[in-house]
């Protein structure tokens, strides 16, 4: 067992001491099946980079089963890298230690940031080699998610024109995630709307923390609204909506700033799978679906703007707020300012404007920043809140620590090359309380050196 997440085991109501040992490793590597479990690989289809693939499926993963967690909700326990399945095609069904540790760090960081996500219960080294461009040590990641129902799961059955199966799946998704919708006049339209709301809220939260998923194919988007399938994802340092890390995303389809648009495109694919359930008349079904999906930009903007207001310490709503936020982002882009640290510095500046001078002196900023700062000061001072309270509430939404790429790489490097997990543990400690600045963790808040900025990620978790 390379890593075991005791906090998560506690939340799930699992006996950590019975699992963080060789017997646990045997279960989590897939070598032994838990009593009564019937592991399976799930079928799904999906649009990959805009192109439909009628059959993908779990090619390197097994759903071990479901458990009821302490909060009463059902969770999937899923093994990633557990060997070939009927969906493996030409793949080996394996995963390498590096990408598995990467998923552990980033998914746990996302959880601590408050973003809905699958989580990582454990990492088990298989002791077997995995053959990529080089020979790498193999590992299995134990993933916990509220379900693994993807837009691609719906597409799988819809592509086969199996409307009965789509209905069974939709009923199951409603029961599992949106129970109250069963009583809706048209539960399937209500499901489409609920998934749209969940995705809009999720993508807004990604944008708030500077997360780039990297492969927003429809098979990687959940119905539950949880972030899933961590592959070439990464956090942005300097603000730039065109930020792309994934080496396979050559045209920037999944760039940071494109994520809301892509989410809407994916929802349109989801809506298409539900058409026969929305109305018996295909024309009317299309009209209903279109009307719902077209609401996405407004729903997204509502979620995004209310989060951006919180990031700027605003508790009231004013017409000019969108323009105020946009001009800050423009100034950040012009100055290649660090996204996370700019907002964190604004927390200090909210408490004491003099702080901004100290922070500002570290950057070669243009005067648009100063102009923006004066506008923002005018806007916040018209509100009732004290500056102390404002700064405190801003620090609860603007993280000090994100999994910065150069730190994640360092942690992976020492785990893979030297079998040393201490760097990974240190990083996880900082990321577990991302909103609480601590002297001992402050090196994790430093942006990368300019030479480290051209960061590239590769698929293969």
Measured from the CB atom, the residue of 57 and 307 that comes closer to ligand AMP is 57
Q: What are phi and psi of 146, to 5 degrees?
A: -70, -20
CB of 131 to ligand AMP, least distance (A): 10
CB of 396 to Mg ion, least distance (A): 32
Give the chain's count of helices (H) and strands (E): 17, 9
Catalytic residue among 219, 229, 237, 348: 219
CB of 104 closer than 8 Å to CB of 38: no
Give the x-and-dash track for 200-229 against Mg ion (CB under 5 A): --------------------x--------x
Distances (CA, A) of 358 to 246, 362, 388, 395: 35, 7, 19, 18
Task: Tell me, yes or no, if 452 is annotated catalytic.
Answer: no
Where does 75-186 have alpha helices with state H? 97-113, 151-159, 163-177
CB of 204 closer than 8 Å to CB of 396: no
Measured from the CB atom, the residue of 48 and 327 that comes closer to Mg ion is 48
Give the dihedral sign, CA 211/217/219/223: positive
CB of 232 to Mg ion, least distance (A): 11
CB of 226 to ligand AMP, least distance (A): 15
Measured from the CB atom, the residue of 85 and 220 that comes closer to Mg ion is 220
Cβ-count burial 138-175 (b if 16+ within 10 Å, e if not)? bbbbbbbbbbbbbbbbbbbbbbeeeeeebeebbeebbe
Residues that bind ligand AMP (CB under 6 A): 56-60, 87-88, 91-94, 215, 219-220, 229, 231, 459
CB of 53 to Mg ion, least distance (A): 11
Q: Is residue 108 near Mg ion by the rule CB under 5 A?
A: no
Provide the pairing of β-strand 234-235 with 211-212.
antiparallel
Measured from the CB atom, the residue of 220 and 340 that comes closer to ligand AMP is 220
Distances (CA, A) of 289 to 285, 361, 441: 6, 52, 48
CB of 219 to Mg ion, least distance (A): 5
Q: Residue 55 is encoded by which pair of tokens?
A: 């059959």
**Residue 3 binding target from ligand AMP, Mg ion, none, CB below 5 to 8 Å by type:** none
Nearest Cα neighbor of 126 from 82, 167, 61 is: 82
Measured from the CB atom, the residue of 219 and 338 that comes closer to ligand AMP is 219
Measured from the CB atom, the residue of 305 and 416 that comes closer to ligand AMP is 416
State the Cα–Cα distance between residues 338 and 105, nearest whole angstrom: 21
**Residue 409 binding target from Mg ion, ligand AMP, none, CB below 5 to 8 Å by type:** none
Packing angle between helix 259-278 and helix 282-293, nearest 10 degrees? 150
State the Cα–Cα distance between residues 353 and 84, nearest whole angstrom: 58
- Using CB under 5 A, list all residues that contact Mg ion: 220, 229
Which residues are catalytic, by number?
Answer: 219
């Amino acid at each position: 067992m390379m890593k075991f997440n005791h906090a998560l085991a506690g939340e799930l109501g699992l006996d950590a001491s019975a699992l963080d040992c060789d017997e646990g490793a045997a279960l989590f590597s897939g070598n032994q099946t838990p009593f009564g479990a019937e592991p399976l690989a799930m079928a799904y289809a999906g649009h990959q980079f805009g192109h439909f693939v009628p059959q993908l499926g779990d090619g390197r993963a097994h759903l071990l089963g479901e458990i009821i967690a302490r909060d009463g909700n059902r969770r999937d326990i899923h093994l990633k890298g557990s060997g070939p399945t009927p969906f493996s095609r030409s793949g080996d069904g394996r995963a390498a230690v590096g990408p598995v540790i990467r998923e552990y760090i980033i998914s746990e960081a996302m959880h601590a940031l408050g973003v809905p996500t699958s989580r990582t219960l454990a990492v088990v080294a298989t002791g077997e080699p995995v053959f990529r461009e080089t020979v790498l040590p193999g590992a299995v990641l134990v993933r916990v998610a509220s379900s693994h129902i993807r837009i691609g799961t719906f597409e799988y059955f819809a592509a086969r024109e199996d409307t009965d199966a789509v209905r069974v799946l939709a009923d199951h998704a409603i029961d599992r995630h949106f129970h109250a919708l069963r009583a809706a006049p048209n539960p399937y339209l209500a499901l489409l709307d609920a998934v749209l709301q969940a995705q809009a809220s999720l993508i807004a939260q990604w944008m708030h923390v500077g997360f780039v998923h990297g492969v927003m194919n429809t098979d990687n988007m959940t119905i539950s609204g949880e972030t899933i399938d961590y592959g070439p994802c990464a956090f942005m340092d300097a603000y730039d909506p065109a930020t792309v890390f994934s080496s396979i995303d050559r045209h920037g389809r999944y760039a940071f700033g494109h994520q809301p648009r892509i989410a809407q495109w994916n929802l349109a694919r989801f809506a298409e799978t539900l058409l026969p359930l929305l109305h018996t008349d295909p024309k009317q079904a299309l009209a209903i679906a279109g009307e719902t999906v077209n609401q996405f930009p407004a729903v997204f903007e509502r979620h995004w703007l209310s989060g951006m207001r919180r990031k700027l310490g605003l508790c009231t709503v004013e017409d000019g707020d969108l323009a105020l936020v946009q001009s800050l982002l423009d100034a950040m882009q012009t100055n290649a300012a660090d996204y996370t640290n700019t907002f964190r510095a604004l927390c200090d500046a909210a408490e004491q404007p003099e702080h901004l001078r100290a922070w500002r002196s570290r950057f070669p900023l243009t005067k648009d920043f100063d102009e923006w700062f004066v506008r923002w000061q005018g806007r916040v001072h018209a509100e009732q809140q004290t500056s102390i309270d404002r700064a405190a509430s801003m620090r609860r939404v603007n993280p000090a620590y994100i999994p910065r790429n150069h730190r994640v790489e360092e942690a992976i490097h020492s785990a893979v090359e030297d079998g040393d997990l201490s760097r990974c543990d240190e990083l996880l400690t900082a990321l577990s309380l991302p909103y609480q600045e601590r002297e001992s963790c402050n090196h994790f808040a430093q942006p990368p050196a300019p030479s480290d900025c051209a960061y590239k990620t590769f698929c293969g978790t």
